[in-house]
Structure 1
C-alpha cells in the first residue's frame, strides 16, 4: 500500500528532452547551461518504454498515459511508442504538442490509438508568438493543426501559459477563438520552474487576474470538474469552456495522481522535487521505489529549477 491517500493513476512521460521551440519560460537560449546534468538530449527508446510499462502496471492501475517532452512529435519512434502504450491496454493516450509538425502525422497518431491532444498556444499575435517561441513560424499553422485535430475526432484542449508583460493582454482573444471553435482552453499560471526560476515574480500573472480580465467581457459560472483535475473549469453564458491551472495561488496538490517519467526512463513523484528513481527489476523493489516516489509529493507546489522540458510539461 502506497503511504499516502493519493495514488498514481496518470503517467506523464517526457519521451525526449529537446524541442524545436525555445520558449522564454522553458528554454530561453540565454539561460541554457551547457554544464547542467540535464543539458544533454535524451530520447526514450521503445524497448525501455515497453519494459517500464510492464513493470509499473504490476503495481499501479494506469488509466492514462500522457506523452510530453520537449516536443514529442520530434521523436523518430513516436508512432511505435503510441502502439506500445496501446498494447498495454491503456484507455486514454494523450499527447502535448506545440503544433509544429507535419499534418500527416495527426492521422497516423489517431489511427495508432491517440485519443487526446493538448496544444500549447500562448499567443494568436504573430509578433508575440515569435517573441515567446523564439521562432519565425506562422501561428496560422498551429491554428490549422488544432482545427484538423478536432475534425479527426481527437479530444482537443488548448494550454496557454500567461506571462505578465508578454501575452497577458491576449486572454480574451484566445478565449473567444477557442470558444467559437468549441475547444476548451486552460490558462496556466506561470510556474516557478526552470531557467526563469529566479525571475518568476516579474512574469507572474495570477488566476484571479485572468478571471477578472475575462469578467470584463463575459459572465461565467463553475463547470463540472473531475476531483483529480489540475484545472478548475468554468463556462461562459455563450458556452465557452475555460479552465484555470493555478499551481501557485490555488494549489491542487492534494488531488495529484501523477507519476512522471523522463526521457532516460527515470520516474519522479512530484514536479516540485528533482528526486528521480530508476525502476528496478524485482517486484518488491518496484513497490518500495513507488512508495519513495509518493513520499516526494508536496502539500503544495513550491517549484523547481528543473526545466519542464526535462520532466514533461
Structure 2
C-alpha cells in the first residue's frame, strides 16, 4: 500500500490554475454564505495580490517544470483590471500550449472580444441552473441566468471553445440536470456535472447533499442514449460521454464518489500568491515572499520543484476511506477551481 501511494505522488505537474483575484460578483456553490461573504467582506488589498509581472514570472518557472496548461481563475477573473494585458503576456511564454479561463459569465458580453483579441481561446463557464428562480437563489444577487446565457452566446460568436460547469446539489438544483443537458446538447457545448464537494469550510457541505455521478447518470440515461469517450489526455478528470448519433457530449467530475488523486496533475496559485498542490489543502507554500525577496529565477524554480516533489495530498482518497477528514481548507474564493 505504501509503495502504491508513493507511485501516485510521482505524477507529473502539467496543469496550473492561477487565481488572479479573490473578488467575485455573485455567490456560487463553493463561496462563503451571504452572512460572511456580504457587502462588508474584506477582500485582499491590492499589494497582497500578485502583480501581472509576478504572475508571468511564476508561470514561466512552472513552464520550465513541465506545465503546459494554464487556467486563470478567481474569485471572478473578469473583475481583474486589464486582464487582456496579462493574457497577452502569458500566451508569449515558451512551453505554454493552452490557456483557459473559468468565469461565471456575467461580464462576458462586454469582455469576450477583448479576451479573444489578447489570445485567449478557451472558457469554462459556471452555470448551475437555467431556471431563473433557482439561479437567482443560488447566486444571491438576483442575477438572471439569461445574463450568463447571453454571455455564452457572445463567446461562441466570438470563436471561443466553451465548456459549461454545473455543480449539482441534492435538494437544491438536481431538477435542472435534464433541462441543462437538453439545452447544451442542442447548442453543441460540452456540459460538466460536478459533484458537490467539501471545498473550503463554509459552504455547508455534507454527504446528504451530494448527488453522485452514478445517480446523475441514471437520470440522464432515462432520456438520452449515451456512450463513453476515452480520456483526451493523462490526468483528465472528467468522465466523458457522447450522445449517440451526435458530437455533443457531457462529463462528470467525481471527486467525491470516485477519487482521481492518483492521476491528478494540477497545482494552484491562490490570489495572495500561495502554491497549493491540492484543491483541498490547508496550507500553501508562500511564492509571493520568494518573488519579493529577489531570489534568482533558478532559486525560485528549485523551491517550487521541491514543493511538488514532496507533496503527500490524497484528500479525496482519504475521504472515501475514512469519511470526510476534519481540517480547515483554503476557500474557493482564493484558490479558484
Q: So what's the TM-score if we normalise by structure 2?
A: 0.85
Equivalent in 153, 159, 164 of residue 158 of structure 1 = 164
Q: Which moved more, 1:295-304 or 1:79-88?
A: 295-304
CA deviations over 1:67-120 (Å, ceiling 9, x no partner)? 000000000021111011112142211000001115231011011110200100
CA separation of 1:294/1:200 partners in 2, compared to 1, >3 Å: closer, same or farther?
Answer: farther
Indicate the residue corresponding to 2:50 in structure 1: 44
Deviates more, 1:79-88 or 1:297-306: 297-306
1:267 alignment partner, SS class: strand
CA contact (8 A) 1:13 1:260 kept: yes
Partner of 2:77: 72
Q: Describe how 1:271-286 pairs up with structure 2 within 5 A.
A: 271-279=279-287, 280=290, 281-282=295-296, 283-284=298-299, 286=301
Counterparts of 1:92 and 1:115, CA distance in 2: 8
Aligned to 1:235: 242
* Rounded Cα–Cα distance in structure 1 between residues aligned with 2:213 and 2:202: 19
Q: Relative to 1, partners in 2 of residues 1:248 and 1:50: Cα closer, same or farther, differing over 3 Å?
A: same
Q: Does the 8 Å contact 2:33/2:203 carry over to 1?
A: no
* 1:106 matched residue in structure 2: 112
State the superposition RMSD in angstroms: 2.5
User: Which aligned pairs between 1:124-273 and structure 2 lie closer than 5 A?
Assistant: 124-196=130-202, 199-226=205-232, 227-239=234-246, 240-273=248-281
Instruction: Give secondary structure in 1 for the equivalent of 2:286.
Output: coil
Out of 78-87 and 303-312, give the one that drifted further: 303-312
Cα distance in 2 for residues equivalent to 1:199 and 1:157? 25
Could you tell which deviates more after superposition, 274-283 or 208-217? 274-283
- Aligned-partner Cα distance in 1 for 2:303–2:58: 15
Worse-superposed segment, 297-306 or 153-162: 297-306
Q: Where in structure 2 are there 5+ consecutive unaligned residues? A: 1-6
Q: Quote the Cα distance in structure 2 between the aligned partners of 1:249 and 1:194.
A: 18
Is the partner of 2:252 in helix, strand or coil? strand
Provide the secondary structure at the position in 2 that maps to 1:30: coil
Q: Please give the alpha-carbon distance, in whole angstroms, between the structure 2 residues aligned to 1:24 and 1:249.
A: 18
Q: Which residue of 2 aligns with 1:307?
A: 331
Matched, 1:26 2:31: yes
Whether contact under 8 Å (2:200, 2:280) holds in the other structure is: no
- 8 Å contact kept, 1:14–1:263: yes
Structure 1 residue 30: Cα displacement: 2.3
Quote the residue 2:20 is aligned against: 15
Checking the alignment, whether the CA contact within 8 Å between 2:23 and 2:43 is kept in structure 1 is no
Measured in 1, the distance between the counterparts of 2:78 and 2:156 equals: 18
Q: Distance in 1 between matches of 2:272 and 2:123?
A: 23
Q: State the alpha-carbon separation in 2 of the partners of residues 19 and 121 from structure 1.
A: 15
2:59 matches 1:53 = yes
Could you tell me how far apart the structure 1 residues matched to 2:55 and 2:133 are?
Answer: 39
Contact 1:252 1:300 in 2 (8 A): no
Q: How many residues are paired up?
A: 310
Provide structure 1 residue ranges, at least 5 long, that are not aligned to the other structure. none
> What is the CA distance between 1:265 and its match in structure 2?
2.0
Q: TM-score, normalised by structure 1?
A: 0.91
